Amino acid sequence: MPASFLLGLCAGLAFARAHARRDAAKRRNDENDENDENDRDGDGDGDGDGERRPVVVYMDGCFDTMHYGHANALRQARACGDKLLVGVVNDEEILRCKGPPVCDARERADAVRACKWVDGVIEDVPYEVTDAFTDELFAKYGVDFVVHGDDPCLAPDGSDAYAYPKRVGKYREIKRTEGVSTTDIVGRLLRLGARAMGEEVEEEEKEATFCTTSSRVAQFLGNNAPPAEDARVVYVHGAFDVFNTGHVEILREAQKLGDFVLVGVHADADVRARRGAAHPVLNEKERALGVLACRYADEVVIGAPAKITNDLLTTFNVSVVVAEDEDPYEIAGEDANAVAAARGLYRRVPRAREWSALSVAARVMENRAAFEARNARKTKSEAAYYAQKTHVKES
Ligand code: CTP
């Protein structure tokens, strides 16, 4: 084929493409002009009522053993708009598509609802984001953007699960938080459960991929203001390991007792000393982020002393102390809350739900074979993700 013919063909194609681009741009401008005419108040929502319609963002997921990676995804999703709706997949669908969930649908929805960046929860959503369901999100819930982490999310037939919102320009991607996942936590719980059953468990040989930066802590603190001078500060302290609905309940109760909830997240060494060498499941920085993401917590003390001190009560101007555990525990032969009790500040709030790292590990162990199989599968895909990951800027 002569070179001049090839050059001519390329020039022709480039011209046609440029023409098509101009047409598309003109169509978009015409549509915008039409909207502008209706949008008399100029707020961009196409009407003239003087109020800007909030941008509604939707994120869905399983949110099993809700962790700070999920919370960070919700934080970033919320930053893509003004209102965040979260779809929580039901148990049957998770069982069918991924394997058994650790937490049931109610626990998962409650944990998501307690996250401070969430404005509403839609329960019982399908695992597969079908076109019909996406249309329902747009029409019924007024969703403007569907958001998901930058990990590939495939439908069962191998196609892109979010192809439709992407095609219509209603998809936004956020950066997945590295170093934590349900798979990773289930792995830690399997090891805790096996140790509790007296099995020899080797230390995990895995490169750490999560770093707690000061900006991450600041992001999780968000708009939380410091306590006012005359605020009634409620201090709640404990391990807050594998943050869950039991923790949410006690923080909610604490909020009712004052104006500012300060949460003491015990140091790893103290949790280990109290609960045993296999604890905690998450380290103190991870546990602190889990607490900070909760709408009922105003501030955390990272690595707080397990035993309340006079100095701590004075420094933080504490009015009430609420303990996480129903049964008071002793540190070096003394009640951990003795100082608060002596100052008449100690309040015991009954536990609404029984939950501990050990009880959740027991759930995993009850279904051990299924969780081990699921983790073996997921660990491979997570390793593949880390091998190919590229930098995506967080919003
Ligand atoms: N997500 C994230 N960072 C993580 C884990 C999850 O940003 N470490 C995001 C996912 O990308 C998704 C949302 O959180 O947008 C809900 O995730 P989920 O459906 O619970 O499932 P997974 O992606 O499998 O998360 P995990 O591995 O923790 O179960």
Query: Which pLDDT score is estimated for 23?
Result: 40
pLDDT surpasses 90 at 88: yes
Choose which residue among 65, 70, 181, 289 to substitute to test ligand 1 binding: the one with the highest number of ligand atoms within 8 A of its C-beta. Answer: 70
- pTM for the complete prediction? 0.84
Report which of residues 268 and 48 the model is more confident about: 268
149 lines ligand 1 (CB under 6 A): yes
| Ligand 1 atom nearest 61 alpha carbon | 19
Query: Residue 125 CB: number of other CB atoms within 10 A?
Result: 20
pLDDT surpasses 80 at 248: yes
Across all residues in the chain, what is the average pLDDT? Answer: 84
Average pLDDT over residues 240-251: 92
What distance in Å separates the CA atoms of residue 254 and residue 236, rounded to the nearest whole number?
7
* Low-confidence winner among 24-33, 169-178, 353-362 (lowest mean pLDDT): 24-33
| Ligand 1 atom nearest 178 alpha carbon | 8
pLDDT surpasses 60 at 47: no
Query: Which pLDDT score is estimated for 220?
Result: 96
Query: Residue 40 CB: number of other CB atoms within 10 A?
Result: 12
Average pLDDT over residues 15-23: 38
* Low-confidence winner among 6-10, 145-149, 291-295 (lowest mean pLDDT): 6-10
- Nearest by Cα to 73 from 160, 191, 176: 176
63 lines ligand 1 (CB under 6 A): yes
Query: Which pLDDT score is estimated for 340?
Result: 94
172 lines ligand 1 (CB under 6 A): no
Per-residue tokens: 149: 């982490």
62 lines ligand 1 (CB under 6 A): yes
What distance in Å separates the CA atoms of residue 163 and residue 183, rounded to the nearest whole number?
25
Q: List beta partners, residue 56.
A: 83
Query: Which pLDDT score is estimated for 392?
Result: 64
For residue 153, name the pLDDT band (cuts at 50, 70, 90). Answer: confident
148 lines ligand 1 (CB under 6 A): yes
Q: List beta partners, residue 344.
A: none
Query: Which pLDDT score is estimated for 352?
Result: 65
Query: Which pLDDT score is estimated for 140?
Result: 97
pLDDT surpasses 50 at 38: no
Query: Which pLDDT score is estimated for 266?
Result: 94
pLDDT surpasses 70 at 83: yes
176 lines ligand 1 (CB under 6 A): yes
Average pLDDT over residues 293-314: 96
Query: Which pLDDT score is estimated for 349?
Result: 80
pLDDT in tens, 95-141: 988 889 999 999 999 999 999 999 999 999 998 889 999 999 999 99
286 lines ligand 1 (CB under 6 A): no
* Low-confidence winner among 32-41, 73-82, 157-166, 341-350 (lowest mean pLDDT): 32-41
Query: Which pLDDT score is estimated for 157?
Result: 80
Q: At what angle do helices 245-256 and 105-113 cross, to 10 degrees?
A: 40
* Low-confidence winner among 225-234, 248-257, 376-385 (lowest mean pLDDT): 376-385
pLDDT surpasses 90 at 321: yes
Query: Which residue's CA is the closest to the ligand 1 atom numbered 25?
Result: 181
Percent of the chain topping pLDDT 90: 60
What distance in Å separates the CA atoms of residue 346 and residue 355, rounded to the nearest whole number?
22
181 lines ligand 1 (CB under 6 A): yes
For residue 378, name the pLDDT band (cuts at 50, 70, 90). Answer: confident
pLDDT in tens, 156-207: 788 888 999 999 999 999 998 888 999 999 999 999 999 999 998 877 666 5
Query: Which residue's CA is the closest to the ligand 1 atom numbered 2?
Result: 176
Q: Which residues, 6+ apart, have CB-to-CB distance to 186 below 8 Å?
A: 65, 102, 364, 371, 374, 375
90 lines ligand 1 (CB under 6 A): no
pLDDT surpasses 50 at 7: no
pLDDT surpasses 60 at 43: no
**Rg of the chain's alpha carbons, rounded to an integer?**
25
Percent of the chain topping pLDDT 70: 83
| Ligand 1 atom nearest 60 alpha carbon | 16
Going by their DSSP bridges, the two strands 334-335 and 330-331 should be labelled as antiparallel
For residue 144, name the pLDDT band (cuts at 50, 70, 90). Answer: very high
Q: Is the dihedral of CA 76, 77, 78, 81 positive or negative?
A: positive
177 lines ligand 1 (CB under 6 A): yes
* Low-confidence winner among 2-16, 93-107, 141-155 (lowest mean pLDDT): 2-16
